[in-house]
């Protein structure tokens, strides 16, 4: 008789996450930025690497392999054939092709057939600062097919504009974008970064019951004069981790996630300065391993302000 799979027989109190994202040998983006923090918060995490690159694509060169939709489905079938396909959460990040994204939609259906209560946390990675870095045709697939099946959505300002068709120029616009996305599907929406008049805002929205006005809040985030890689992947992972621990308090979950993120970024910037590098001169690889205490037990310094 085969031994039991303990992550299924004796599951962690927090949950079991399937994370489909990119992977780099060196550095912390995609799954490398998401898996470890979730494990620190008590989750069993099974990663599927949508790409396997030597390093992130911001370097002068990169080498590696890209997983296609058929290969993704092979992995899912292998899990299913061995009765390993029970997950409490699905997490997705950067996806580079329509065919792969359509296969992810099949994965959502398959996972929900095993667990109808599956929570799907989607970071709809499409672009930033007015520029798409995925094919244009992905936008309509996200808007028409992915958003309706997501439980939580974590777009940045540009991605929220792409998904809603609404230009976000004020806090009111940000809140309205959340309302549009709620109407399309997800009960929780966090626009993770809105650049407004020199301020950086996170706007969160939780529609606890269909037809009910959502509870909405903002967190004003101090801007750090540097550019970091992997921050969006880390933010979404932390939002998943903390929102599951505090399912009725998305504002508290966001406070904890933002506080951890800020601690990681400050440590990263200070370490680069200690090494004699000007942090404004290039994108910085986050110091994830060195920041594990701040991930497990963040000190909340940035508080959510609820909207009336």
Q: Active-site residue numbers?
A: 233
Q: Which residue has the tokens 């995490």?
A: 45
3-state helix, strand, coil in the chain (%, to 5): 40, 20, 35
- Whether 6 and 85 have beta carbons less than 8 Å apart is answered as no
- Residues linked to residue 44 through DSSP beta bridges, in sequence order: 16
Give the phi and the psi of residue 280 in degrees, each rounded to 5. -85, -5
End-to-end CA distance of the chain: 59
Could you count the other beta carbons within 10 Å of the beta carbon of residue 272? 19
- Whether 113 and 107 have beta carbons less than 8 Å apart is answered as no
Q: How far is 259 from 250, CA to CA, in rounded Å?
A: 14
For 81, 150, 159, 209, 255, the CA distances from 183, given in Å and listed in that order, are 36, 12, 17, 12, 25
Q: How far is 56 from 63, CA to CA, in rounded Å?
A: 9
Query: Which two three-digit tokens encode residue 163?
Result: 């998904």
Name the H helices within the chain: 6-9, 31-40, 69-81, 98-114, 137-141, 157-164, 171-184, 231-245, 250-274, 292-296
Give the alpha-carbon dihedral of 127, 130, 135, 137, to 10 degrees: 110
- Burial (CB < 10 A; 0-12, 13-18, 19+), residue 35, is buried
């Amino acid at each position: 008789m085969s031994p039991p799979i303990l992550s299924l027989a004796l599951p962690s109190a927090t949950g079991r996450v399937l994370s489909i994202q990119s992977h780099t040998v060196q550095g912390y983006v995609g799954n490398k930025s998401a898996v470890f923090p979730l494990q620190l918060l008590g989750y069993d995490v099974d990663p599927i690497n949508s790409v396997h690159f030597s390093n992130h694509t911001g370097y002068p060169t990169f080498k590696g392999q890209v997983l296609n939709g058929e290969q993704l489905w092979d992995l899912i079938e292998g899990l299913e054939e061995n009765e390993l396909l029970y997950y409490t959460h699905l997490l997705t990040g950067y996806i580079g092709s329509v065919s792969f994204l359509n296969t992810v939609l099949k994965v959502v259906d398959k996972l929900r057939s095993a667990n109808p209560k599956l929570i799907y946390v989607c970071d709809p990675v499409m672009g930033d600062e007015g520029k798409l870095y995925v094919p244009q045709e992905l936008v309509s697939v996200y808007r028409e097919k992915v958003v309706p099946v997501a439980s939580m959505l974590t777009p940045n300002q540009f991605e929220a504009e792409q998904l809603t068709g609404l230009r976000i120029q004020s806090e009111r616009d940000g809140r309205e974008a959340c309302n549009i996305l709620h109407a399309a599907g997800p009960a929780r929406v966090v626009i993770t970064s809105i650049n407004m008049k020199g301020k950086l805002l996170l706007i969160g929205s939780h529609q606890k019951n269909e037809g009910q006005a959502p509870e909405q809040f903002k967190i004003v985030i101090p801007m750090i004069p540097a550019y970091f890689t992997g921050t969006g992947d880390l933010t979404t992972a932390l939002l998943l981790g903390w929102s599951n621990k505090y399912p009725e308090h998305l504002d508290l979950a966001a406070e904890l996630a933002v506080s951890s993120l800020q601690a990681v970024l400050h440590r990263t910037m200070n370490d680069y300065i200690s090494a004699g590098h000007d942090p404004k001169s290039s994108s910085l690889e986050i110091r994830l391993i060195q920041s594990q205490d701040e991930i497990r037990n963040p000190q909340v310094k940035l508080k959510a302000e609820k909207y009336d």
